[in-house]
Structure 1
Amino acid sequence: MPGRPDPDRGAVRLDPRLLIGMVVVAASVLGVWGLVSGLDASTEVYAVRETVTPGTKLSADDLEVRSVRLGAPTDARRYLAVDALPDDGVVVLRTIGAGELVPSAAVGERADSETASVVVVTRGRLPEGVAAGTRVDVWTSAALERGEFDTPSVLVAGAEVAGFVESDGMLAEHGVQVELLVPRDRIAAMLRALAANDAIDLVAARAGEAD
């Protein structure tokens, strides 16, 4: 009498460990694909062509577009995106170096009211390395009789150089006209020194000196 057919004969059995391995491999492939896709995504943000200082008004014509990979969405919000620039531009709130991406926190819709611009003429040449964005101490010497001057002292500490004023296309031979950003509570003292024809010298401020 023939035996009963074995229902398991000829059936393909899959090892559960093989199924688990296949799932792990598939998940790994998807994870790598997602990571590569995320890294490949770029964002268009603005950068400045040259150093800009507080109070400078910026429009799209003053900026250049950079396509950068910033990673997380929170990183992208740290910089001024192309689609986030107002039609009337933005005002610089703190110095941005030439070629740098524009931090969102460094620009706003109105100027910083804590400083004001004053143009001074130095007694001599500027120290090496002083440029727009540099912090300097303003030293003054009160004018006395017969062309003599009193002992110099610091009138404003940590003023920021906004730029240089050219005269007849050339900087002065023995003195330089410098536009400074000075705290408003020191403006009166600066104007008194200028009106009295006091001698003015600029010295590079120490690193970390307070604004």
Structure 2
Amino acid sequence: MSRTHAAIDVPTATRAQPPGWRDPRLWIGIAIVAVSIIAGARILGAADDSVSVWAAARDVAPGDTVGVDDLVSTSVRFGESTDAARYLLTSSPLPDDLTLVRALGEGELVPAAALGSGDEADTVIVSLAFPHELIPTNIGTGSLIELLVIPADGASDDKRGSIEPTTVLSDVVVIDAPSAADSLGSVSRGRQLVLGIPETDSDALAEILSASEDERVRVLVRG
């Protein structure tokens, strides 16, 4: 008994062809790779901009001696490279006799202006209030300023610029410079500046305090 086999059509095998230059899939793939490379480069570049600075490991008070055990390393990326100079970098040697001239809260970055040596423990911390229009906009923590006083008998003439103020204190460190919104009594007293002034300048300090009551003190930023 004979069997009849039905013919089966077998499709012809075709080889996958690589995409041509005109294939949109090829260009999409190239674009994805390019975007990935650019994104990775930017991430690495941002990481390279970070610097390591010291932050307070706990709450510390003025007059406390600060050592490595009181600090913790923190990686920070500053908007301006010059801002890093205002803080205590971990890459710089840490002296043995550092003393705080103002309080620091746990986790707060340590400004270089908040530290002094044991020989500078006689620094007087003074908070002065100034009218907002008399404070330079670029002043901040760590700034070096000059304090100038207008003579009492010429205070009313200062608005016309006929009386020149006299420098009473120079190279004064701004320990803290709260924003106008953060300054206590900002509406009535103006903006506050917390300054570190050596006790050896007590006579000049007395003059500054007296002149500040009449708004005769002017501020010049040195750095």
Name the TM tier (shorter chain).
0.3 to 0.5
TM-score by length of 2: 0.44
TM-score by length of 1: 0.46
